[in-house]
Amino acid sequence: VLRTEEIGRMAGLSRSRVIEAGDVVMEEGSVADAVVTVGSGMLKLYRTLPDGRRMITGFATSGDVVGLAAQGNYVYSAEAVTASRVCRTARASLDGMAADNPAVQGRMFAITAADLTAAQDQILMLGCKSATERVCTFLRAMARRGGKDESLPTAYLPMMRQDVAEYLGLRLETLSRVFRRLKDAGLITLLDKTRVRLDDPDRIAALASGAERLGSDN
């Protein structure tokens, strides 16, 4: 999951399918016979426990490559959270290219290495951070991605609250409550269902790192 149009392009950008929100592109446990490159939209990647508990391990957006690290079988599922354009590249053809072209190999390695770093960021977050810290960390990360429409950074969150909660290792009620407290403190504005503006990026950053506490005592 990293910006790279190259792999799709190298594969000739063969068939670029358009899919709808809710469509499952990849299923945990099934044979990893292809990788998926995201052209537009957003996918959620998740793993499931036998009893149904889930954890979203990441969101893939334009340019991201999904399922590259799979050896044999996919280790996570991928589902569209918005209408998306995706491109399947057969594993065989990818491996073929990799064998010939060391640059492709290197690219695949770099993508996987970056994914590993991201995964470890999430480990650090899940293991150490409080609910407020997690939410603020997430908002900052998403605001960085989405760019800043206005002068203030704005996070684009097309996925459901439930998905955000599952990514942060929280219940959606808790997420909702944190949003409310951030809103009450004047730190964020919920522009609409999918856009959250960070009105005070510095304090959000402080909250994300745990440097500041969101006391009800203002």
**Residues between 138 and 157 that touch DNA (CB under 7 A):** none
158 contributes a contact to its own copies by CB under 8 A: no
Note whether 115 binds its own copies by CB under 8 A: yes
CA distance 39 to 87: 7
DSSP states of the chain: ----HHHHHHTTT--EEEE-TT-EEE-TTSB--EEEEEEESEEEEEEE-TTS-EEEEEEEETT-EESTT-BSB-SSEEEESS-EEEEEEEHHHHHHHHHH-HHHHHHHHHHHHHHHHHHHHHHHHHHH--HHHHHHHHHHHHHHHH--SSSS-EEE--S-HHHHHHHHTS-HHHHHHHHHHHHHTTSEEEEETTEEEES-HHHHHHHHHTSS---S--
Interacting span for its own copies (CB under 8 A) from 15-23, 36-44, 110-118, 199-207: 110-118
55 or 152: whose CB is closer to DNA? Answer: 55
Scan residues 42-61 and list those touching its own copies (CB under 8 A).
Answer: 47, 49-51, 53-55, 57
> Which of 68/198 has CB closer to its own copies?
68
Site string for DNA, 172-191 (x = CB under 7 A): xxxxxx-xx---------x-
Does residue 20 interact with DNA by CB under 7 A? no
CB nearer to its own copies: give 122 or 132.
122
Contact residues toward its own copies (CB under 8 A) are: 47, 49-51, 53-55, 57, 68-71, 75-76, 98-99, 102, 105-106, 108-110, 112-117, 119-120, 122-124, 126-129, 166, 169, 209-211
By CB under 7 A, name the binding residues for DNA. Answer: 130-132, 160-162, 169-177, 179-180, 190, 193
